[in-house]
Chain A
Amino acid sequence: MDKNEFLKAFADQFDETEPALITLDTKFKELEEWSSMVALMIIAMADENYNKKITGADLRESDTIGQLYERISSR
Chain B
Amino acid sequence: MKTKYMNPYLAGFFLGLVLLAAIFVTGRGLGASGAIKSIVIAAVDGVAPAHAEQSLFYGSYVGAGKDNPLKSWIVFEIAGVLIGGFLSGLISGRLKFVSEGGPRISVRSRWIFAAIGGALFGIGAQFARGCTSGAALTGMAVLSTAGFVTMMAIFGSGYMIAFFFRKLWI
The answer on A and B forming one complex is no
A interface list, Cβ under 8 A from B: none
